[in-house]
Amino acid sequence: MAAVVTALLLGATACGSDAGAAVRPADAPAPSSAVDQTAKSALAGLIVLPTGFIADPKNTTGPFSTETYLESYSPEPALDRALLLNAGFAEGYRATRLSPDKKKRYIIQLFKAESPAKAKALQEGFWRQESRTHPFRVPGALSNAHAAYDAGTEKNEATAEASVVAGSLVALLTVRQSAPLGTTVHPDTALITTLAAQQRARLTSKSS
């Protein structure tokens, strides 16, 4: 098990290619540098949120520990426990927002690691958990976009995501949206690209 975790952490993840150039971004509200202040956490002030999006009553916004992350958010609890332990994870923060028409959900998760090197390893460990074969250009970030039928919801689902590292902080950004069968839905790469740039700028200016 240790060998598997080590291999995951040491693997380099490529990004910045134009493989996803054919993916058309959906129209989205212009993002801004709005911040979330709903919880008493130093990380809350580092979160960038899209303008015009509203509170998401069905999803949690606030700080999380290792245990709350593993219990509530982690797609792979056993693997993520090892990744967080190896990274010297200190604290995290999660925020979710909905577009005004409630068709798009924006999620951002921020993780504080022990050091910049461990933050990079944590980013790569998270990113390699899933097959991400449609990267698109987001300067200074890992990125991916895909659309597929979801048997669980019986809808077409589109996801655009990016991962940013600045100092000892890792930010995971995701925009998800769905549409009924027979309706085309495109990952909102425009929104993620802008938010990732703003998030990286904020983390870079705040972390030292």
Convert the pLDDT of each residue in 8-64 to its tens digit.
333 433 333 333 333 334 444 444 444 444 447 899 999 999 999 999 988 889 999
pLDDT, mean of residues 66-90: 96
Residue/partner pairs of 198-203 with CB below 8 Å, 24 or more apart: 198/31, 198/32, 198/33, 198/48, 199/47, 199/48, 199/108, 199/164, 199/171, 199/173, 200/140, 200/141, 200/164, 200/166, 200/171, 202/33, 202/46, 202/48, 203/46, 203/164, 203/166, 203/167, 203/169, 203/171
pLDDT tops 70 at residue 207: no
In this structure, are residues 196 and 138 in contact, taking their beta carbons and an 8 Å threshold?
A: yes
Of 186, 193, 194, 176, nearest to 26 (Cα)? 186
Looking at residue 172, its pLDDT comes to 98
**Amino acid identity at 89:** F
For 36, the 3-state DSSP assignment is coil
Pairing assessment for the beta strands 169-179 and 104-112 based on DSSP bridges: antiparallel
Sign of CA dihedral 80, 85, 87, 92: positive
pTM metric for this prediction: 0.78
